[in-house]
Structure 1
Amino acid sequence: MSLAPHYSVEILERIDDIPPEAWEELGTPGSLALAPSFWRVLERAGLEGFSYRYALMRDDGGKPRAFWGVYTVTTDIAIFAPEPLRKVLEFIRRRFPSFLKWNLLECGTPITIVSPPITQSSGVPRASLVAALARSLREEARRRRSLLIVIRDFEHNAEAFREDLAVHGYHWIEGLPNTYLEIPWKDPQAYRDAMRSYYRSKLNKYRRRVESSGIRVERKEDFADLADILCAQWREVHENAKEFQREVLTPAFYREFSRALGPDSWVLLFHRGEELVAHALMMRDGPMIRWLYVGRSRAQNDGIYLYIATKVVDTAIELGAERLEMGLTTYDVKMDLGAEAVPIHMALRARWGWMNPFVGLGYRLLNAVPKPGKRPVFKQQAAEETP
């Protein structure tokens, strides 16, 4: 009978502490967001409240077999609370600002969805990988005095991790759904022609309205010199958002993102006359393009957000992407453009064993996750769904 392999995990303080040969052994990660260049951006950006460490898993022979990033962040554990509960929490937090805001240890990437959130070489048994991951995270949570441990994010392609994580006490928790648009069209006009008339006319109405106001769009790959104004625009949106809020970006984030990722990152700049009024931050990740953030000089309900979203779609089509990730929240706009919502799950457990049985139920009671339905935006889609 063969023995199960044993893996050791080394925790490193800097991404550059991982030797280049380790990355060569691990091979190409499944996502740019798991590559060292991406983690350097996060490390140098100084996102407010985040403290990073990096885990390198080796086999008995010392060969690197897996990598994952971990970080601590203070998070509102009722982050998806329904409106009535949110009002109660706002009242309580006037007196106790930190109520239900806990120090979490998270495994994953803090600014985008990567599923599963681990780079591994081939031939590693999943159960052994999860055992090493779970052991390492509990040890790191003790060191950092983090009450809760979160592994995020898991889409349907990573459902197999659920049973292995449950063995180690993790609860499978639903998070905000992500949104994707599959792209079979050769150009933006073909995309609009494929839409049903209701959705196409709505899109065209907002497009004409915004363009008649003098808006012009520029795609810019080298945007490090605009970092301060882009971050200020992002903060304007962030501080006026009524939905999910978590990470707080810095000018250094935009600066490092541009410098480190080069032509794989860009911003769409929206000008009115000489004024830069909005932007969208995007990145290429293999055959997929990710829309990460949006910023406005003034947060207002004037139709520009829908216009920004249409230009993001047009750009992804023009650049030959197979898929566009459109991110969390603002589901109505994204679904009207043909995106589909994809369920996202997280694995959650308490550091303390006695507390852990109550964590899953408590989180579900405090949070209500939206479930946006699919919309028949495209003609072929509508025809297929007609009985």
Structure 2
Amino acid sequence: MSADRGAAAPAVPAVPAAPAAVAVPAAVAGARREPAYTVERLDRAQDLPRQVWDELAPADDPMWGRDVFTAMQGAEIGPDAYAYLLVREDGLPFAVLPLSAVHGLRLDRVVGPRERRLMAPVARALPRLVRVPMLFCGNFLGQGHVMGRGRLPAAVALLLVREVMDFARGHRLGTVVFKDFAPDDLDALRPGLDREGFFTVASLPDTELLLEQPDFESYLATLPAKPRRNARNKIRKFRRQEDLRMEVLDGFGHLVPEMMGLYRQVMDRADQTLDVLDEEFVRALSAGKGDGDGGEGGQGEGAGAEQRLVACFQGERLVGYLHCLFRGRGAVGARIGMDYALAHRARLYHNLHYAAIELAIARGCRHIRFAQTAYEPKREFGCELVEQTYALNHTGRLPRTILRLLLPPALEAARAQALAPRS
């Protein structure tokens, strides 16, 4: 989902640099010494050495590779400023919380269709009223986490949330969101969230397919009877299209312009658009640019999450793709693009996902995740819904009260609409 491209994003106000360290008091004399925690603010993901990043980041979530965050920093996908809160334990890196600032978030692009219709007259007449400055904590493009070495102590939760609110006030970002956090990850932050007055709302669930089969045929055999019949039928219909072929590509930078055209066809049909990827992001990520420690990265060892493009061609023309990332034993079908002129007759959506599932199984992945959209076909693939939560707050007391009244019903309605069965 992205900020409006029609107006330039306001400059980020200058604020004093964060103190190099904010200490948490040590234990009283005579007791066992507790660790001393400090926090500092980094401007770029590259400011944290790759080895440290990889030690702290979720081991099996490709959306938490450092190359994803460096690609975000050089692109225009919504946020206009980034920061990283680094917590040290006795001077050593212990946890990191990424921050993404959006100074002009379009509310009418993150609610459901009904709410968007109600807001349309206001958006046309007074567009400034539906744009809000917002600070996202976690991963703007993926599931929310605090990167770290195990569960957060209460002292770290208090320290981090306080620093988040200070950052929001300093940069005039009224609304603060811990985005798409799993319940356990959010519970670890509770001491800080409760102290600062955050409230929670269920967000759109993620979709995850557990992969315990040795090959794709075994995966199909584990599906219930009706989804299994539907899958085989869709695969047969695709194979009858003599002019179409599916390939898995290691390098695909030359296809980025075509990919973006197909991606826009999908986004034009999307109910909600918080983040909209641009060509610079896809090109930087596909090339591994800008993520080296002192130089440019590449596709080899140490270049971050591995990538493949599941690509469908009609002759030499790209007509569909699913961009897949891999990290540890996890895979993500990150973004999809399709030519809708032939998508239905070729059952293109399903077959791109089947090819990604087959690829993930062949690579030894234990799970693959897909986007927070199109829940009905993903249930048919065998995906489970992974519950996620927003924790929200505002730097002002009156706006916080209004948010508590208005935002939960709007987000719950959008969630119900997205999860509703469709023919």
TM-score of Structure 1 vs Structure 2, range by shorter chain: 0.7 to 0.9
Q: Please give the residue correspondences for 1:329-340 in structure 2 after superposition, counting only pairs within 5 Å.
A: 329-340=373-384
Deviation at 1:81, TM superposition (A): 3.4
Pair 1:342–1:350, CA change in 2 (3 A): same
Q: Which deviates more from structure 2 when the two are superposed, residues 62-71 or residues 145-154?
A: 62-71
| Aligned residues of 1:244 and 1:329 also touching (Cα < 8 A) | no
Give the TM-score, by structure 2 length. 0.79
The Cα of 1:253 is off from its aligned counterpart by: 1.4
Aligned runs of 1:202-351 on 2, under 5 Å?
202-213=230-241, 214-241=243-270, 243-260=271-288, 262=299, 264-298=306-340, 302=344, 303-351=347-395
CA RMSD of aligned residues (A): 2.6
User: Given that residues 292 and 327 in structure 1 are in contact (C-alpha distance below 8 angstroms), is that contact kept between their aligned partners in structure 2?
Assistant: yes
Superposed CA deviations along residues 294-332 of structure 1, whole A, max 9, x for unmatched, are: 012446761321222222222222222111111201001
Distance, in Å, in 1 between the alignment partners of 2:351 and 2:49 is 44
Distance in 2 (CA, whole Å) between partners of 1:17 and 1:288 is 25
CA offset digits 1:60-115 (Å, max 9, x no partner): x433222121111233446553433221112321222343331111111111224x
The aligned residue for residue 181 of structure 2 is 154
1:45 pairs with 2:70: no
Partner of residue 378, structure 1:
none
The equivalent of 1:29 in structure 2 is 57
Q: 2:390 matched to 1:356?
A: no
Mean Cα deviation higher: 207-216 or 32-41: 32-41
Q: 1:186 aligns with which of 204, 211, 214?
A: 214
* 129 and 299 in structure 1: CA distance in 2 versus 1, 3 angstrom threshold: farther
The CA deviation at 1:333 is 0.9
1:2 aligns with 2:46: no
Distance 1:331 1:285 in 2: 24
Q: Following TM superposition, by how much is the alpha carbon of 1:45 offset from its aligned partner in structure 2, in angstroms? A: 3.3
**Cα displacement (A) at 1:180:** 0.6
Counterpart for residue 169 of structure 2: 142
Deviation at 1:141, TM superposition (A): 0.8
1:133 is aligned to: 160
Alpha-carbon displacement from aligned partner over 1:274-311 (angstroms, at most 9, x marks no partner):
22101101111211111110012446761321222222
Partners of 1:78 and 1:363 within 8 A in 2: no
Deviation at 1:355, TM superposition (A): 3.0
CA spacing shift, 1:96–1:301, aligned 2, 3 Å: farther
Contact 1:77 1:363 in 2 (8 A): no
Q: Are the equivalent residues in 2 in contact too, given 1:34–1:118 (CA < 8 A)? A: no
Q: What's the TM-score once normalised by structure 1's chain length?
A: 0.86
- Give the aligned partner of residue 382 of structure 1: none
Match for residue 198 of structure 1 among 218, 223, 226: 226
Is residue 325–residue 333 contact of structure 2 (8 Å, CA) maintained in 1?
A: yes
Compared CA separation, residues 211 and 147, structure 1 to 2 (3 A): same
CA distance in 1, matches of 2:82, 2:229: 47
Q: Structure 1 pair 34/184, CA: closer, same or farther in 2 (3 Å)? A: closer
Q: CA deviation at 1:218?
A: 0.7
- Secondary structure of 1:334's aligned partner: helix
Aligned position for 1:379: none
Residue equivalent to 1:171: 199
Distance 2:210 2:139 in 1: 23
How far the C-alpha of 1:184 sits from its partner, in A, is: 1.2
Report how far residue 118 of structure 1 moved.
1.5
Distance 1:321 1:170, change over 3 A: same
5+ long unaligned stretches in structure 1: 375-387
1:335 is displaced (CA, Å) by 0.6
Q: In structure 1, what residue type is equivalent to 2:372?
A: L
Map of 2:5 onto structure 1: none
Q: What one-letter code is carried by the residue in structure 2 that aligns with 1:69?
A: P
Matches of 1:15 and 1:255, distance apart in 2: 18
Cα distance, 1:6 vs. partner? 5.2
Secondary structure in 1 aligned to 2:129? coil
Change (3 A) 1:299 1:238: farther
**For the structure 1 residues 149 and 251, does the alpha-carbon distance in structure 2 shift closer, same or farther, using more than 3 Å as the test?**
same
Query: How far did residue 197 of structure 1 move?
Result: 2.4
Q: Distance in 1 between matches of 2:262 and 2:325?
A: 18
Alpha-carbon offset, residue 171 of structure 1? 0.9
Q: How does 1:79-118 map to 2 (within 5 A)?
A: 79=109, 81-114=111-144, 117-118=145-146
* DSSP-derived class of the 2:74 partner: helix
Q: For 2:390 and 2:80, locate their aligned partners in 1 and report how far apart those are by CA, in whole Å.
A: 19
Quote how far apart the aligned CAs of 1:354 are: 3.9
Give the fraction of aligned pairs with identical amino acids, expressed as a percent: 20
Cα deviation, 1:314-366, whole Å, max 9, x if unaligned, reads 22222221111112010011011111111110211001134324423321122
Secondary structure of the residue aligned to 2:323 is strand
Task: Please say if residues 215 and 361 of structure 2, whose CA atoms lie closer than 8 Å, have aligned partners that are also in contact.
Answer: yes
Q: Is the 8 A contact 2:65 2:327 kept in 1?
A: no
SS in 1 for 2:205: strand
Q: Which runs of 5+ in 2 are unaligned?
A: 1-25, 29-33, 289-297, 301-305
